[in-house]
Amino acid sequence: MRVSIIIPSRNERFLAQTVASVLRNSRGDVEVIPVLDGYWPEPYLASNGVTHTIDWNDKRIRALHFGTPVGMRGAISAASQIATGDYLMKLDAHCDLSEGFDLVLREGVDRHTVAVPRRYRLDAERWCWTDTNKPPIDYHYLSYPFTSHAGAGLHGTVWEQRARERKDVLVDEEMSSQGSCWFMQRKHFNQRLYPMEIERYGNFVQEFQEVGLKTWLGGGRVIINKKAWYAHLHKGKTYGRGYFISKREMDDGQRAATDFWFYDRWEQRKHDLSWLIERFAPVPGWPDNWEELRNADKHKRRTDQDGGTPGAGSPPGWEERDDDHLDRAGREVSVPSEAGSAEGGSEEAT
């Protein structure tokens, strides 16, 4: 059975190494779909003097190029529709992989399951793990949206206590994740996730909240498979990031996602969010009476028929905003004013 590996990329210097790792470490039938989002990759000269290029003659590679960038969600959706595999795997364009990952990750993955491999930290220059004195990252919890250390919103937050308590469980349930790698049957993506929702979240943020919550609350499950691993580069200021996003768009995507999932607005759900919280209870940061607090909120954010815009009296962690300047996904739109236009946000690399 074939695995299609989708690699969305935008100005990625480590794309060639990532593609090479996929081809070198796969042991079954694979196709690699690097999405060249508004650029053509150039050979990359590593610090050890080795030049990395992609072998475009390899028949396992099916590149998809966009002259005008479509963004990460658009790239994933487009690649999924040319994929021929029984399984889909999404991978960031700066990752190394374990031998036989494509075969190992199939374990326990039916048409309603998403699998995530164990995650290490990548030293991209030496193309090996870094921080080897630290444990791998296996588990994440869904953060309480109004007290998260990462800012207001739902986030996949590393769950160290669960990792210690369940260190001997090799394939286990995973509440949430980080989003740089996930694996599922193509049928599941097409039936539950295609197309990814750009209008609601924007093109980049809350990727795994969309994937994971639609899976869990749609009657499926998410698992961590520790028998396979990938090493992911956190690029930060050292390398910058390929996809750029404004802070405002990031904030608005998080706000829209919280409004949609925290208030159970997904009409196709088989479970409410409370079911997921109870399944993994106790979840760090979630008050015992969180449902009471939510239901007693007399100033619940206003939403239109599509859901997603916060209004006055939002819970702590939300910035007060004028809803007249927001679209249906919670993103600010340009509105004429005495100054000529709505104030824009500063750009941040992501």
The string of pLDDT tens digits covering residues 26-42 is 999 999 999 999 999 98
User: How far is 329 from 306, CA to CA, in rounded Å?
Assistant: 8
Predicted local confidence at residue 150, as pLDDT: 52
**Least confident stretch, 20-29, 280-289, 326-335:** 326-335
Average pLDDT over residues 252-272: 95
CATH number at residue 28: 3.90.550.10
Tell me the pLDDT tens digit for each residue of 163-208.
999 999 999 999 999 999 999 999 999 999 999 999 999 999 999 9
Of 338 and 147, more confident? 147
Predicted local confidence at residue 299, as pLDDT: 45
Predicted local confidence at residue 51, as pLDDT: 85
The band of 149, judged by pLDDT with boundaries at 50, 70 and 90, is: low
Tell me the pLDDT tens digit for each residue of 294-350.
887 634 444 444 454 443 334 444 443 333 333 333 333 332 222 222 222 222 333
> What is the domain count for the chain?
1
Report DSSP letters for 131-184, one per residue. Answer: -TTSPPB--EEEPPTTT-TT-SS--EEE-HHHHHHTTT-SEEE-S---SSEEEE
Tell me the pLDDT tens digit for each residue of 40-78.
998 877 777 788 899 999 999 999 999 999 999 999 999
Above 50 in pLDDT, residue 9?
A: yes
The band of 224, judged by pLDDT with boundaries at 50, 70 and 90, is: very high
Mean per-residue pLDDT over the chain, rounded: 85
Q: Which tokens in the block code for residue 181?
A: 């790698």
The bridge status of strand 3-9 relative to strand 87-91 is parallel
286 inside domain: no
> Which residues, listed in sequence order, are joined to residue 9 by a DSSP beta bridge?
36
Instruction: Give me the percent of the chain exceeding a pLDDT of 70.
Output: 83
Of 240 and 125, more confident? 125
Predicted local confidence at residue 342, as pLDDT: 27
328 inside domain: no
Domain with 170 in it: 3-247
pTM given for the model? 0.85
187 inside domain: yes
109 inside domain: yes
177 inside domain: yes
Average pLDDT over residues 80-108: 98
68 inside domain: yes
Report DSSP letters for 171-226, one per residue. Answer: EEE-S---SSEEEEEHHHIIIIISSP-HHHH-SSTTHHHHHHHHHHTTT-EEEEEE
